[in-house]
Amino acid sequence: AVPPAYTSQRCACCGHTAKENRLSQSKFRCQVCGYTANADVNGARNILAAGHAVLACGEMVQSGRPLKQEPTEMIQATA
C-alpha cells in the first residue's frame, strides 16, 4: 500500500512539497514550477508514481535476479 500523506501537497511534476501548493480543497499550484491541476488528480498522480516505484523496486521484485536474461549459449560462448 502507498501511504497517501502529503500526496496532495507534493507536485507531481517537480516533487516540491509544500502546504502552500494547495490553493483550495480542489486546486493545486506548485510554488516552484507553476504546475497546476485539480488537487485530487495531482495526488492521484503521486500515488500512481509511488505505486510504480514499489512494484519496480519493492517487495514484488525478486532481489539478486537480473531483469535482462542473456541466452545460455551466448553466456557460454563468452566464458
Residue 61, pLDDT score: 42
Residue 78, pLDDT score: 54
b/e map 28-62, b = 16+ CB within 10 Å? bbbeeeebebebeebbbbbbeebeeeeeeeeeeee
Q: Given a cut of 50, is residue 39 above it in pLDDT?
A: yes
Contact between residue 46 and residue 60 where contact means Cβ atoms under 8 Å apart: no
Q: Given a cut of 90, is residue 41 above it in pLDDT?
A: yes
Cα distance between residue 22 and residue 39, in whole Å:
7
Residues of the chain with pLDDT > 70, as a percent, come to 72
Query: Whole-model pTM?
Result: 0.68
The pLDDT tens digits for 51-60 are: 888 888 765 4
